[in-house]
Amino acid sequence: MRTSSVLFLCCILFVLVGCSQHTTPPPSSGNNAKSAPPVVDPAQAATITGVVTFSGTPPAPVKIDMGLDPACTVASKTPNMSEQVVVNNGKLANVYVYLKSGLGEHSYPPPSEPVTIMQRGCRYIPHVAAVLTGQTVKIVNDDPAMHNIHGAPTLPGNHEWNISQMPKGDPILRTFDAPEVMIPVKCNQHPWMKMYLSIADNPFFAVTPEDGSFTLKDLPPGDYTIAAVHEKYGEKDVQVHVGPKETKQISFGYSAQ
C-alpha cells in the first residue's frame, strides 16, 4: 500500500513538472524593432541631386469650374487650372522622389515641426506633399467655404479619414505609422480639389518644384535605389552608388503618353 502511494505521488509530481515545462514561454530570440539610424560623419556625408525632365507635348491644363460654390470663386486669386501635369521648360513638377531601398531597417525620429496642407482658393497647397512616419500633418482651411477632407490610405497603420472643416476653422492634425506612396486626399464638397500625400520611413525624400529639381543630402555612403513617382505617369527607379563626400547627379525622364 505504501509502495502504491509513493508511485502515485511520483506520477503526480512528474505530471506537474511536465505541465510547468510546457506552459513556460520560450526565451525571446530578440525583438523586431528597427535600429537607431546610422550616425553619419558630416565630413563623409554623400549627396544625391538631380532633375525630373519631361519630353514631348504635355497635356493642356484643364480649366476648373468653381461655380458650384460662390465662396470658392470669391476666394480664388489664381488661374483655376488643373495641376495634374505641370511642365516648365521641359521640367516636371509635383514628382515625389525618395530613397526606396539600401538603408536597412532604421527608425528615424520625426521632426517636431508639422507639414502644413493649406486649403486656399478652394485648392490644396501644395498639390503634392511628403512627411516622415510619425510627423504631424496640419490641414488648414483658409477659405470662407466649408471643406470636407477625405484621405484614403490603404496600408495597415494608416487610417482613412473623412472630416468636415468649417470656414477658417480649427486645423485638423494627422499622423501616419507606415510608409505609403501618394495617398489621395480630396474634398467631398468640391470635386476638383485633390492632392497627394506620401509617407516616408526615412528623411531622404523631396517633391520637385517647377524646375524639376531635387536634392537628397546627408546620406551615408552606399548603394541605393532612388524612386520618382508622378500621379499620372507612375514610378521610375534608378540605382546609384555614392561614396564618402561624393555628390552624385541622376535624372528621371517622363514623356507624354
- Model confidence over 142-158: pLDDT tens digits? 999 999 999 999 999 89
* Residue 27 CB partners (closer than 8 Å, separation 6+): none
Please check whether residue 21 lies inside any domain of the structure.
no
Question: What is the per-residue pLDDT for 65?
Answer: 87
Please check whether residue 17 lies inside any domain of the structure.
no
Question: What is the per-residue pLDDT for 171?
Answer: 97
Please check whether residue 204 lies inside any domain of the structure.
yes
Per-residue pLDDT reduced to its tens digit, 188-211? 999 999 999 999 999 999 999 999
Please check whether residue 7 lies inside any domain of the structure.
no
> How many domains does the chain divide into?
1
Instruction: Classify the phi-psi angles of 63: left when phi > 0, otherwise alpha if psi is within -120 to 50, otherwise beta.
Output: beta
Instruction: Classify the phi-psi angles of 122: left when phi > 0, otherwise alpha if psi is within -120 to 50, otherwise beta.
Output: left
Comparison of pLDDT for 57 and 9, the residue scoring more: 57
Instruction: Classify the phi-psi angles of 24: left when phi > 0, otherwise alpha if psi is within -120 to 50, otherwise beta.
Output: beta
Per-residue pLDDT reduced to its tens digit, 93-127? 999 999 999 998 888 999 999 999 999 999 999 99
Q: What is the pTM of this model?
A: 0.84
Question: What is the per-residue pLDDT for 79?
Answer: 64
Which of 191, 197, 185 is closest to 72 using CA atoms?
191
Please check whether residue 202 lies inside any domain of the structure.
yes
The CA dihedral of 125, 130, 132, 138, to the nearest 10 degrees, is 20
Between 16-30, 75-89, 103-117, the lowest mean confidence (pLDDT) is in: 16-30
Residue 190 belongs to what domain range?
A: 46-255
- Rounded mean pLDDT of 44-55? 97
* Residue 131 CB partners (closer than 8 Å, separation 6+): 110, 115, 137, 176, 197, 198, 199, 200
Task: State which H helix or E strand residue 129 sits in.
Answer: strand 128-132
Please check whether residue 107 lies inside any domain of the structure.
yes
Res. 77 pLDDT band, cuts 50 70 90: low
- Rounded mean pLDDT of 213-237? 97
CATH number for position 175: 2.60.40.420
Question: What is the per-residue pLDDT for 18?
Answer: 40
